[in-house]
Amino acid sequence: MNVNTCIQPPQFLPLSPFYQQRFHLFTQKPQSLKPTKKSCYFSTTACDNSFKGGLFRVQKGRIRCSVSEVEEQKEKQLQVVKRAYPFHEIEPKWQSYWEKNQTFRTPDEVDTSKPKFYVLDMFPYPSGAGLHVGHPLGYTATDILARLKRMQGYNVLHPMGWDAFGLPAEQYAIETGTHPKITTLRNINRFRSQLKSLGLSYDWDREISTTEPQYYKWTQWIFLQLLKRGLAYQAEVPVNWCPALGTVLANEEVVDGVSERGGHPVIRKPMRQWMLKITAYADRLLEDLDDLDWPESVKEMQRNWIGRSEGAELEFCVLDGDGKERDIKITVYTTRPDTVFGATYLVVAPEHSLLPSLMSLSQRESVEEYKDLASRKSDLERTELQKEKTGVFSGCYAQNPANGEAIPIWVADYVLGSYGTGAIMAVPAHDTRDYEFATKYDIPIRWVVKPDDDDFSDSGKAYEREGSILNSSSSTSGLDINGLHSKVAASKVIEWADTTGNGKKKVNYKLRDWLFARQRYWGEPIPVVFLQDTGETAPILETDLPLTLPELDDFTPTGTGEPPLAKAVSWVKTTDPSSGKPAMRETSTMPQWAGSCWYYLRYMDPKNSKELVDKTKEKYWSPIDVYVGGAEHAVLHLLYSRFWHKVLYDIGVVSTKEPFKCVINQGIILGEVQYTAFKNPDGNYVSADSADLSGEINQEIIPEEKVIKSGDSFVLKGDPSIRLIARAHKMSKSRGNVVNPDDVVSEYGADSLRLYEMFMGPFRDSKTWSTSGIEGVYRFLGRTWRLIVGSPLPDGTFRDGTVAIDGEPSFEQLRTLHKCIAKVTEEIEGTRFNTGISAMMEFINAAYKWDKLPRSIIKEFVFLLSPYAPHMAEELWFRLGHSNSLAYEPFPKANPDYLKESTIVLPVQINGKMRGTIQIEEGCSEEDAFRLVSQDAKLSKFLDGKSIKKRIYVPGKILNVILGPQNIKAGVR
């Protein structure tokens, strides 16, 4: 057996760090490893006599270790000695205590005279991969806030649950044959276990899951309220259909014409779907943004998504081959009616309902081919500004109502059937997209707006701003807007159109009604039936809710567009509860967004079987005070939740117009920095400066120990002329840069992980993970532990109790403490967690210089530490002589008397000339100030050998020393 081929590098070993070190030592001399007979074992005795009898075994390409109980004990003892503090004992102890005593349970009935604080994380989806270290960033932040507010006397609601319906679980079920309910429960259990291991103070008694019938009963109830009010309806709409997944996908689930999950082709086709009329609330959704304490970028994204605009609908008559008007009119929407004379062609969307009537025989084949290509693109792809514009002539013309000109009708995918009327008047001189299109297809460009601040000229690009109107008069139509400013001209065109029947004023929105159906199994059933004889829709009775999801063995797509629920024949066939007539159930399910639209309300009253939420409880807990989650939910989730909340407000279920008072987006945590080198075809390294990345260049990941920094760049340690590319990527399994928090907790403890994630940088900024970086906060916690508990005993364990004494603290100790209290409190409340940790580090540095450690000082510091490192804080509190949790102890308040600076910077002049400064205490006497000047290395040299004629001292303001004639030393002239 070739030993060299069997042994893998240490980083791939399933070994503890202790054995990885031993493995590294003896694998430097592979000749000393000798395989034993009848096995693939290698004795380590030749390499490490201290581990006599220890064996490393090759199994499935990995080295595994077999050791005696004595050796295992040795390793455990060495690990204990190596630990900075015994987190491995402390953390399970206090997690067990919190769970047993339900420390963080919020009672169903609370004292409503106390202030409340409702802090919430955005609903997580429990994937099979579990957490990575990016997830706890937001969870730790909300936990710190929750712990602070409990100690400040607030009733705190800090719950957790699961957004567990949706496509990922269903796809996994299809691929493995495992029912999605089984995988979902398994994933939830894993997530819950990981979250508990981090010491997060959730009220697990309020845990909910969107997949539980007692929860989605109320999701279905909300749908029925929408249906009653005409806000839920069915319509034939173009959708993103993925044949491979067998379902409709939302726009955001389609990337470059394929499904985001699985990369399957997606086409656009019309289907009858359930829609929610979110557009009915467009103005309210827009107006109420102004009063929210949200990131301005998020509010702006919502404004742009809603996209309110004022303009006009104008009608263009379609012409036949002889130029005569046909009985067809195309209605266009424009925000610039002042440019109507500049319209030189029309564009209709490929899915426009009139298109079959607009195609000429000669162009029919080209148009149909173009329609097919457009159906494979998402709306986002079609409207991307940077993409090259494409289109095809319909073979038909329309008449511009302003000047009577016949203009061609084109089909182009940069116009969407879902926005406006699905048709536009194209004014290439004054719209960049139209200009690019007209230039490409040689369509006339007519300038009708002159800039106010510039001479008119054809600049080679569209002029999109307002100005003075020209070339805009017609005796035929009776419309003349020449010389008017754009705003005035637009009003005149709208008035003319309304008078002549050629159009009307119109407010439009980019916001579309919400497509609310998915051809999937794993989702909430929609609580309606269709009468067999008429096809009429009928809601099921509210008393019959929940309509539960039937058990299916085969939940694969049907391939026909019919949802998988159609296979549950006995479930589908039913009777209308009102008339008793035969009926069929709806077989589409609700989208994943449904359950997450209102979950925050259910946390207030999770076990209520009679109503969605008790009105008294809702009134007390609403709105959510702080809502933390990723910026990727800035539009859809937040917009949908606001829409449902406003509907519930209108029907009296909730008492506030908005659900989320303050939204905070945490940054993302990127994987560790990777260093990439480039090699030419000969295998030689080439610098990233000169590498031709389009040629035959191979990439190689360089380990960190072979890299050094040179200026602003990173280079090979062995050859500094080779510059490398250093980049951190978002964590993903495909890149292999995912860091499992379980591993970090095992190595450094949960408190270290919590502290490090908060210390990495500003909470809202993106940050790069560094495993070596966590060692810094781990050392800080170790120093904190040793300061308060004392140094470890010879066997690595620590004594009981603390080294704190009962003596009175000094003024300086109190001042150091209260400065820390003020800073930590201010920074937590401002979510500047990293600077709060810095303040605690400064305190520990100062405390190490004290001769004695007063118990009263340490007690207060432990409270400051507790939101960040709750396990250590609880243990220290216990060792200070307390038997109960500190979770509800009063959080310290800074005493302003100790925050005043007691030192003053005093300017010092010599003979009236400024020479420097000294630091003095308030009330410092002239003699003491002069003594400090005499002892100052810089100032004292001005006094050497000179007599003092006079001192002028203004207390706290200035000291001026007037010198006499220079002394003449004996024997020197």
- pLDDT of 55 over the 80 cut: no
User: Where does residue 711 fall: left (phi above 0), alpha (psi -120 to 50 degrees), or beta otherwise?
Assistant: left
pLDDT digits (tens, 9 = 90+) for 19-29: 344 344 334 43
Q: Which amino acid is at 906?
A: L
Q: Measuring CA to CA, how many Å separate 350 from each of 1, 148, 370, 434, 752?
A: 68, 57, 8, 16, 57
- Residue 614 is encoded by which pair of tokens? 């008790």
pLDDT higher at 75 or 254:
254
CATH number of the domain at 308-509, please? 3.90.740.10
- pLDDT of 73 over the 60 cut: no
Q: How confident is the model at residue 925 (pLDDT cuts 50, 70, 90)?
A: confident
pLDDT at 38: 34
CB 621 within 8 A of CB 118: yes
903-963 is classed CATH 1.10.3720.10:
no
Closest-CA residue to 155 (of 166, 142, 167, 146): 146
Q: With 0-12 CB in 10 A as exposed, 13-18 as middle and 19+ as buried, what is 473?
A: middle
pLDDT higher at 624 or 82:
624
**Concatenated DSSP letters for 451-494?**
ETTS-----SS---S-EEE-S-EETTTTEE-TT-BHHHHHHHHH
Closest-CA residue to 281 (of 305, 306, 311): 306
Rounded to an integer, what distance in angstroms lies between the CA atom of residue 763 and that of residue 766?
8
pLDDT digits (tens, 9 = 90+) for 94-108: 999 999 999 999 999
Helix (H) or strand (E) holding 873: helix 870-879
948-963 residues labelled b (16+ CB within 10 A) or e (exposed): eeeeebeeeeebbbee
CB 671 within 8 A of CB 731: yes
Q: Which amino acid is at 136?
A: P
Beta-strand relationship, 423-426 and 449-451: unpaired
Q: Which residues pair with 679 in a beta bridge?
A: 685, 698
pLDDT at 53: 38
- Residue 964 is encoded by which pair of tokens? 């006499």
What is the distance, to the nearest Å, from the Cα of residue 777 to the centroid of all Cα atoms in its chain?
Answer: 24
Closest-CA residue to 672 (of 772, 741, 601, 749): 772
Q: Percent of the chain beyond pLDDT 70?
A: 89
- Residue 761 is encoded by which pair of tokens? 């940088």
Count helices and strands (H / E) in the chain. Answer: 29, 42
pLDDT at 965: 73
**Range with the lowest mean pLDDT among 116-125, 474-483, 546-555, 960-969?**
960-969
Question: 5 Cβ partners below 8 Å, 6+ apart?
Answer: none
CB 67 within 8 A of CB 55: yes
Q: Domain residue spans in the chain?
A: 308-509, 672-725, 743-898, 903-963
Neighbours of 39 (CB within 10 A): 10
743-898 is classed CATH 1.10.730.10:
yes
- pLDDT of 545 over the 80 cut: yes
pLDDT at 270: 81
pLDDT digits (tens, 9 = 90+) for 208-229: 999 999 999 999 999 999 999 9
- Residue 257 is encoded by which pair of tokens? 């014409």
Rounded to an integer, what distance in angstroms lies between the CA atom of residue 451 and that of residue 457?
9
- pLDDT of 603 over the 70 cut: yes
What is the distance, to the nearest Å, from the Cα of residue 27 to the centroid of all Cα atoms in its chain?
Answer: 44
**Range with the lowest mean pLDDT among 74-83, 429-438, 768-777?**
74-83
- pLDDT of 883 over the 70 cut: yes
- pLDDT of 511 over the 70 cut: yes
Question: Which of 10-14, 47-51, 718-722 reaches the highest mean pLDDT?
Answer: 718-722
- pLDDT of 636 over the 90 cut: no
| DSSP code of residue 407 | E
pLDDT at 136: 93
Q: Which residues pair with 584 in a beta bridge?
A: 530, 573
Q: Percent of the chain beyond pLDDT 90?
A: 63
Mean pLDDT on 398-402: 97
pLDDT digits (tens, 9 = 90+) for 894-911: 999 888 877 788 999 999
- pLDDT of 14 over the 70 cut: no
pLDDT at 454: 65
Closest-CA residue to 957 (of 902, 921, 905): 905
Q: How confident is the model at residue 458 (pLDDT cuts 50, 70, 90)?
A: low
274-311 residues labelled b (16+ CB within 10 A) or e (exposed): bbbbbbbbbebbbeebeebebbeebbebbeebbebeeb
- pLDDT of 472 over the 60 cut: yes
CB 309 within 8 A of CB 508: yes
Mean pLDDT on 663-669: 92
- The arrangement of strands across the sheet holding 946-954 comes to 913-921, 903-910, 958-966, 946-954
Mean pLDDT on 72-92: 71
Q: How confident is the model at residue 173 (pLDDT cuts 50, 70, 90)?
A: confident
Closest-CA residue to 342 (of 214, 450, 233): 450
Q: How confident is the model at residue 887 (pLDDT cuts 50, 70, 90)?
A: very high
Mean pLDDT on 805-818: 93
- pLDDT of 237 over the 90 cut: no
* pLDDT averaged over every residue in the chain: 87
Q: How confident is the model at residue 287 (pLDDT cuts 50, 70, 90)?
A: very high
pLDDT at 1: 36
Q: With 0-12 CB in 10 A as exposed, 13-18 as middle and 19+ as buried, what is 255?
A: middle
- Residue 186 is encoded by which pair of tokens? 């398994």
Q: How confident is the model at residue 243 (pLDDT cuts 50, 70, 90)?
A: confident
CB 418 within 8 A of CB 379: yes
pLDDT digits (tens, 9 = 90+) for 762-808: 999 988 998 888 999 999 999 999 999 999 988 888 989 999 999 99
- pLDDT of 332 over the 90 cut: yes
Question: Which of 320-334, 558-572, 820-834 reaches the highest mean pLDDT?
Answer: 820-834
| DSSP code of residue 613 | S
- pLDDT of 37 over the 60 cut: no
Rounded to an integer, what distance in angstroms lies between the CA atom of residue 792 and that of residue 795?
8
